[in-house]
């Protein structure tokens, strides 16, 4: 049963117990009844035992490693749970008597939702219990989403064919060494990868990172636990999912940061495919102003030198451009409709931020969401920060229209 959190909404934190509901048991269950083979995972509602929840998905900057697992952590009081959270208590409510082991344990599935909409789905990595003499017995739980499964898989020697990056990712997920256990949402890529053999004992996560490096897209677990792949970032036809401003008519924010430093400058980029020659893109004007700020990719999975040069050009960021790099929001400041809209924002979505300046009016920027970090407490409610990247929203091409009927930098086929 969902628990109301002050000025935030109704939340439900659940952990699998190891038991199966509605499982068909030979000699006991009735044919044609409600029980099914394998049953359904039984989840325990542990919301009321929890005093703080933190979760993170995605990345803060586009230069951060893309292929990383999201995390969820929370703290529970066993005094509130009447001792039932203790993994040594065999008579506990959540103890798995069938298998004679703790029901709340590492590798159990965990899920966090608000008003029925998931915020995080993953598995328990650690379940740490701490006794305190004369004090509260506490449990600290750390979880990862299923992207961590890629880091645990080792690929055998594998023959590949020339194919889109999205097709290569699908092939990796279907490899017997990975056998991806969940659902996927894979959008067709723009980059073609070469037919380079995969060496034996290659880590699946590291190889997926090479795929993302060649495409320069996104790979992440969605709020509902679906492995999601998006193509090369920078432009979109998607409408704005949320509009933030301090004007009073849009979603209010607590704080905004502007990242404006030399680390954003790239005026020399080199990309080399396997067996190819190095392809270099330079911006001489930027180099004269900011010295040489270089990035490089070696042994790229791209199929041709021409694609490598296109990628090198794409990686250039010759000038430091100020932009809103994050926006923080406290749900206590929002209407319930605004809270529901923010809870649904996903990595890759487009948002718009308007901030009134001390002088010169206001500045509006349209950005893409790269990462989401949030904290939920019983006393303080739900706060969330969205980390962003530059985004260009294109108009849908309309044949014969004087404005939208011209294919170019602002219009594109839907």
Print burial letters for 72-103: b (CB count within 10 Å at least 16), e (below 16): bbbbbebeebeebbbbeeeebebbbeeeeebb
CATH number at 346 reads 2.40.30
Instruction: State pTM to two decimals.
Output: 0.89
CATH number at 175 reads 3.55.50
Determine, yes or no, domain membership for 411. no
| Total structural domains within the chain | 4
Same domain? 192 vs 169: yes
Same domain? 241 vs 389: yes
- Among candidates 374, 323, 332, 347, which has minimal Cα distance to 241? 347
Distance separating alpha carbons of residues 133 and 72, to the nearest angstrom = 28
Beta-sheet pairing, 154-155 with 184-186:
unpaired
Mind listing the pLDDT tens digit of every residue in the chain (414 residues)? 899 999 999 999 999 998 644 443 445 545 555 544 444 578 999 999 999 999 999 999 888 876 689 999 999 999 999 999 999 999 999 998 888 899 999 999 999 999 999 999 999 999 999 998 888 899 999 999 999 999 999 999 999 999 999 999 999 999 999 999 999 999 999 999 999 999 999 999 999 999 999 999 999 999 999 999 999 987 666 789 999 999 888 999 999 999 887 778 999 999 999 999 999 999 999 999 999 999 999 999 999 999 999 999 999 999 988 999 999 999 999 999 999 999 999 999 999 999 999 998 999 999 999 999 999 998 899 999 999 998 876 543 344 444 434 545 554 444
CATH number at 80 reads 2.30.300
The CA dihedral of 326, 331, 337, 341, to the nearest 10 degrees, is: 30
Distance separating alpha carbons of residues 387 and 218, to the nearest angstrom = 14
Distance of CA 252 to the CA centre of its chain: 24
Same domain? 344 vs 204: no
Look up the domain containing 162 and give its range. 149-233
In Å, how far are 8, 213, 395 from 353, measured between CA atoms? 22, 29, 19
Please enumerate in sequence order all residues whose Cβ is within 8 A of that of 354, keeping only pairs 6 or more positions apart, or say none: 243, 244, 245, 246, 247, 250, 362, 363, 364
Same domain? 371 vs 334: yes
Same domain? 133 vs 27: yes
Same domain? 175 vs 227: yes
Tokens at residue 326, please? 């994050």
Same domain? 290 vs 210: no
Same domain? 132 vs 190: no
In Å, how far are 49, 92, 139, 140 from 88, measured between CA atoms? 18, 9, 13, 15
Helix (H, G, I), strand (E, B) or coil at 310: helix
Same domain? 122 vs 107: yes
């Amino acid at each position: 049963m969902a628990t109301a959190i002050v000025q935030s909404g109704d939340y439900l934190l659940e952990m699998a117990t190891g038991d199966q509901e509605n499982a068909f048991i030979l000699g006991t269950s009735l044919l044609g009844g409600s029980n099914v083979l394998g049953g359904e995972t039984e989840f325990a509602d542990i919301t009321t035992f929890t005093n703080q929840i933190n979760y993170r998905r995605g990345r803060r900057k586009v230069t951060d490693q893309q292929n990383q697992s999201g995390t969820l952590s929370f703290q529970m009081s066993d005094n509130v749970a009447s001792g039932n959270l203790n993994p040594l208590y065999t008579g506990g409510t959540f103890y798995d008597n069938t298998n004679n082991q703790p029901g709340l344990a590492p590798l159990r599935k965990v899920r966090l939702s608000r008003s029925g909409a998931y915020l995080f789905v993953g598995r328990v990595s650690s379940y740490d219990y701490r006794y305190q003499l004369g004090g509260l017995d506490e449990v600290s739980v750390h979880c990862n989403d299923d992207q961590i499964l890629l880091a645990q898989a080792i690929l055998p020697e594998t023959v590949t064919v020339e194919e889109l990056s999205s097709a290569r990712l699908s092939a990796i997920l279907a490899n017997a060494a990975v056998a991806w256990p969940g659902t996927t949402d894979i959008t067709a890529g723009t980059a073609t990868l070469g037919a380079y053999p995969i060496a034996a004992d290659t880590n699946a996560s590291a190889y997926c990172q090479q795929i993302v490096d060649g495409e320069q897209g996104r790979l992440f677990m969605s709020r509902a636990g679906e492995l999601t792949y998006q193509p090369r970032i920078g432009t979109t036809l998607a409408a704005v999912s949320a509009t933030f401003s301090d004007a009073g008519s849009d979603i209010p924010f607590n704080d905004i940061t502007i990242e404006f430093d030399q680390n954003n400058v790239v005026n020399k980029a080199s990309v080399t495919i396997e067996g190819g020659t190095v392809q270099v893109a330079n911006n001489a004007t930027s180099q004269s102003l900011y010295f040489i700020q270089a990035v490089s990719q070696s042994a790229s999975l791209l199929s041709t030198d021409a694609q490598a040069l296109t990628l090198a050009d794409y990686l250039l960021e010759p000038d430091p451009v100020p932009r809103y790099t994050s926006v923080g929001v406290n749900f206590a400041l929002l209407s319930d409709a605004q809270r529901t809209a923010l809870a649904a924002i996903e990595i890759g979505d487009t948002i718009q931020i308007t901030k009134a300046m001390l002088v010169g009016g206001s500045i509006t920027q349209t950005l893409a969401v790269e990462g989401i970090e949030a904290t939920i407490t019983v006393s303080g409610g739900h706060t969330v920060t969205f980390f962003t990247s530059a985004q260009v929203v294109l108009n849908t091409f309309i044949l014969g229209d004087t404005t939208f009927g011209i294919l170019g930098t602002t219009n594109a086929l839907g």
